[in-house]
Structure formats: structure tokens, C-alpha cells
Structure 1
Amino acid sequence: MDRTAWNGTFKLTETKNVKKFMELLGASPEQIKAVEEMKVTNELSNHGDDYCMKQKAGGKENVISLTLGKEADISTIDGLNLKGTVTIDGNNEVCGKYAGGIEERMTITSDGTITDTVSLGGVSMVRTYVKIN
């Protein structure tokens, strides 16, 4: 599989352990509820090492742009503000290491399913996305 597998629109279909992970980050009960109920769609594109993710949910839109291997400031649609570096392992696993010890692994399968695992201090939040185009 090559990196073009990451191009397309992906819809969030499942979340696991959001509450415990967000509590660890100090999120309020209102923020946690909003994240748990959020129906996110991500439009991903890449040109070489430059990646762009347009996140859409509940009438809100957020754009994340980064270059693999270069430090970036990242703000997500669900309120996470991260500073760190994103790399790719092979062509099907994107890895992020962020300030504060947060780590992320996104894997994509040949059928277009993305599993996004974000971890801190032994606690992980897992989100699953399916490709819709």
C-alpha cells in the first residue's frame, strides 16, 4: 500500500475510552461529553511529506497542516492543542510524539479503515474511521 491510501474522506464510526483519556488531560465534564458525541469527518490529502487534514463536525471546521519529520503546532477539532513531530512508518502507520508525553499511532488498512490511538501515561483513547470516498 502506498501513501495515497491516506487520501480521501473518512468518517468516525467508533470511539473507545474517551472519558478516561480526556479526564487525564484535565477536560471538564462538558468537554468530555462534547467529544464523546462528536461526529467527525476528516478529509485527508498528502503531497509527498506534506499532509493536510480538514476536520468537520457539528458545523465546525478545523484544518491541520504538517510536514512529516518537522515540529508542528496542532489544534484538533475536539480541543486538543499539541506540539510535536509526526512521522510515517512504512506507508500505513503515522506516528506522532507530542509535548507532555502524548503519543499517537494511526494505522490504515487496505480497505480504508483508520485506527487512531492516542496515549498518555498508559491510558489510550481509540477512534476508528472508515473511508467514505
Structure 2
Amino acid sequence: MANFVGKWELAESINFQEYMVAIGVEEEKRKIASQVLGVGSKMTHEFSVNGDEWTLKIWTQNGEKEIKFKLGQEFDSATLDGRPVKVMFNKDGDKLIETQKGATFESINERTVSGDELTMLMTGGGVTCTRKYRRV
């Protein structure tokens, strides 16, 4: 899983609007998300690992969010639009699987790395969004 460690900048996003609708993001927040989480926004993810504790830092135009987690341990968090969720990360072969469960939705976020590209498939409400990041 060491191939996830590093900094990744969003380079491509497919079906993001449809995904946000499917998981119940309000229209006004979808407009904001398109600007601060879209391609060209310089949205960045950074993974680091210390022993069995992972850290995921997310930078957007609206600020920074840091998540610390251990594989297989559920924790409380919030979506980037502020809704409370239960989150768990697991690995499945070379995939890092994040499950988010909110009051009205569930999203499975599957990340894989191939060379200098991280691909994230986000599936919720029957819709899948593909987001590709480049190592920086």
C-alpha cells in the first residue's frame, strides 16, 4: 500500500455532478463543489502512513481537512459539504476502499494506483464517478 503515499492533484473528473445528486448534495452546495472540487481547482490529496495509522490530508480552495485512520476501524467524520458520516477504510488486494455511511446515503470510494496516477471510483445512489489524480 506504500504506492498510495504521496501527494496527488486532481486531473480528471467524470460524472461528478450526477454522483453528487445521487448522494443528496444540495443544489447550492453542488455549485460550490464544482468550483472548489473540480478539475483546475488544484484539489490535492496527500496520504502518509506511520506504523498502522494513515493520514489523509485534503486541500481545496476552501481550506484543508485532515483524516487519521486505521484500516478496518470505523470512525466519525463529515463529508466535504458538512454532513456527518461513519467512515471505514479497508484494503482489498491493491485497492484502498473507503466506505461512507450517512443518514440518507452510502458511498463506496475505491482507490487504485498505477504508476503516477491514482484513480478513485466513487459509487453512491447507483451512480459512479471517476476521479483521476496525478502524483505531484
TM class by shorter-chain length? 0.7 to 0.9
Alignment of 1:6 with 2:9, yes or no, is no
Pick from 52, 55, 58: which aligns with 1:52?
A: 55
**Number of residues of Structure 1 aligned to a counterpart in Structure 2:** 128
Tell me the C-alpha RMSD between the 2 structures. Answer: 1.8
State the partner residue of 1:33. 31
Structure 2 match to 1:128: 132
- For residues 63-122 of structure 1, give each alpha carbon's deviation from its aligned partner in whole angstroms, at most 9, with x where no partner exists: 0111101002233445464313210122x310122324321111111x121111111132
Contact between 2:22 and 2:126, CA under 8 Å: does it hold in 1? no
Is the alpha carbon distance of 1:53 and 1:73 closer, same or farther for their aligned partners in structure 2, counting shifts above 3 Å? same
Structure 2 CA distance for aligned equivalents of residues 82 and 72 of structure 1: 8
Moved over 6 A (4+): none
Q: In the aligned structure 2, how far is the partner of 1:94 from the partner of 1:55? A: 16
1:103 corresponds in structure 2 to 108
SS in 1 for 2:8: strand
Shift of 1:50: 1.6
Quick one: distance in 2 between partners of 1:62 and 1:117? 20
- TM-score when scaled to structure 2? 0.82
Cα displacement (A) at 1:22: 1.0
Does 1:74 pair with 2:77? yes
Change beyond 3 A, Cα 1:66–1:49: same
User: Identity rate of aligned residues, in percent?
Assistant: 26
CA distance, structure 2, for counterparts of residue 78 and residue 44 of structure 1: 21
Counterpart in the other structure of 1:114: 118
Q: Distance in 2 between matches of 1:31 and 1:131?
A: 28
TM-score normalized by the length of structure 1: 0.84
